[in-house]
Amino acid sequence: MTAVVDRPEAVPAAGPEGPDEPGGPRPSAPPSRQWANKLGGFALWAWAIAGLIFILAPILVTILFSFNNPVGRYNYTWNEFSLDAWTDPFRYPDLADALSLSLRVAAVVTVISTVLGTLMGLALVKYRFRAKGIVGGILILPLTMPEVVLGFSLLTLFVTVNWTRGFVTIIIAQVMFSISYVAVTVRARIRGFDWRLEEAAADLGAGPWRTFVRITLPIIAPGVVAAALLTFALSLDDFIITYLNSGLSETFPINVWITKRSRIPPQINVFTTTLLLVSILIAVAVLYWSHRQGRKLAAPGGRSND
């Protein structure tokens, strides 16, 4: 994921050699080879579609089984269609409480990590300074370690200083691994921007605050929003690090994990499906918004009149 966001600045499509000319006269292959190519292309598509089915099958199963009326306490085998779980989503109070804790944790973690990570991303893109290499290294290192190591080592710290685990330690743990994602995402999205605009604003008499609100913020906004969404999703999703540092607190995944031997109710699927739909809606809305924002900034003589 990290590799995705961190792209160098777009290379201009047409080089100095002149206009791009795709196609053009091409020697045509002999018919037998054309046949082989077609077959190869077909096989490639078939393989890719099989891969997509592999990716989506468990998701569809998760949604489908929110409509199951399971026999017994485990929602593992299809029995019959039912809306029971949807009409009674809060049947297990501990599960609902756990979901509510997950959402609260995600909100707090998103705010803290987005602020801290964005500041780091800004510093790394806009300034040259001596410790840059070290800071970059410390940012990347958490991403190259398995969660169980990150979580367990943090737990040894909390145990050493005798710090009771709970809401606060969950926040600490999740912010720890989210900062890197935010900094890397923000850095990738604002790289290559012309920061002289800020100096121009200052030259024209804008104070530091005004410059920040009118120039810096609109530039970094799409990257920051993307990073915030990523953090929220990571926080909701995280299990291993959170579990090791949660003490007696239960987030949604932790509740599912520790009750899995006594029950797997379809309410789990109801909550998951709802979160999935909400996430997709938000993601689409944000994509649309940042696309527009990008156009506004890129417009010739780009004047955002607001």
- Compare residues 94 and 301 and give the one whose CB is closer to another protein: 94
Q: How far apart are CA 159 and CA 150, in angstroms?
A: 14
> Could you tell me the smallest distance in angstroms from the CB atom of residue 300 to another protein?
25
Counting residues that bind another protein (by CB under 8 A) gives 107
**Does 276 participate in binding another protein (rule CB under 8 A)?**
yes
**Does 200 participate in binding another protein (rule CB under 8 A)?**
no
Contacts of another protein in 235-254 (CB under 8 A): 236-240, 244, 247-248, 252-253
> N- to C-terminal Cα distance for the chain?
35
DSSP string of 216-245, one letter each residue: IHHHHHHHHHHHHHHHHHHHHH--HHHHHT
- Compare residues 208 and 302 and give the one whose CB is closer to another protein: 208
| Block residue for tokens 């206009």 | 19
Q: How far apart are CA 153 and CA 161, in angstroms?
A: 13
What b/e readout covers 263-274, taking b as 16+ CB neighbours within 10 angstroms? Answer: bbbbbbbbbbbe
> Could you tell me the smallest distance in angstroms from the CB atom of residue 103 to another protein?
13
Binder to another protein among 32, 87, 160, 305 (CB under 8 A)? 160
**Does 269 participate in binding another protein (rule CB under 8 A)?**
yes
- Compare residues 16 and 300 and give the one whose CB is closer to another protein: 16
Contacts of another protein in 19-48 (CB under 8 A): 20, 22-24, 26-27, 33, 37, 40-41, 44-45, 47-48
- Compare residues 19 and 301 and give the one whose CB is closer to another protein: 19
Q: How far apart are CA 255 and CA 97, in angstroms?
A: 9
- Compare residues 16 and 22 and give the one whose CB is closer to another protein: 22
Q: Cβ–Cβ contacts within 10 Å for residue 34, how many?
A: 11
Contacts of another protein in 59-88 (CB under 8 A): 59, 61-62, 65, 75-77
**Does 101 participate in binding another protein (rule CB under 8 A)?**
no
Q: What is the dihedral of CA 149, 115, 293, 9, to 10 degrees?
A: -50
By the 8 A CB rule, do 182 and 113 touch?
A: yes
**Does 138 participate in binding another protein (rule CB under 8 A)?**
yes
- Compare residues 142 and 218 and give the one whose CB is closer to another protein: 142
CA-closest candidate to residue 216, choices 77, 90, 121: 121
Q: How far apart are CA 245 and CA 259, in angstroms?
A: 18
**Does 205 participate in binding another protein (rule CB under 8 A)?**
yes
**Does 116 participate in binding another protein (rule CB under 8 A)?**
yes
**Does 103 participate in binding another protein (rule CB under 8 A)?**
no
Binder to another protein among 101, 105, 106, 165 (CB under 8 A)? 165
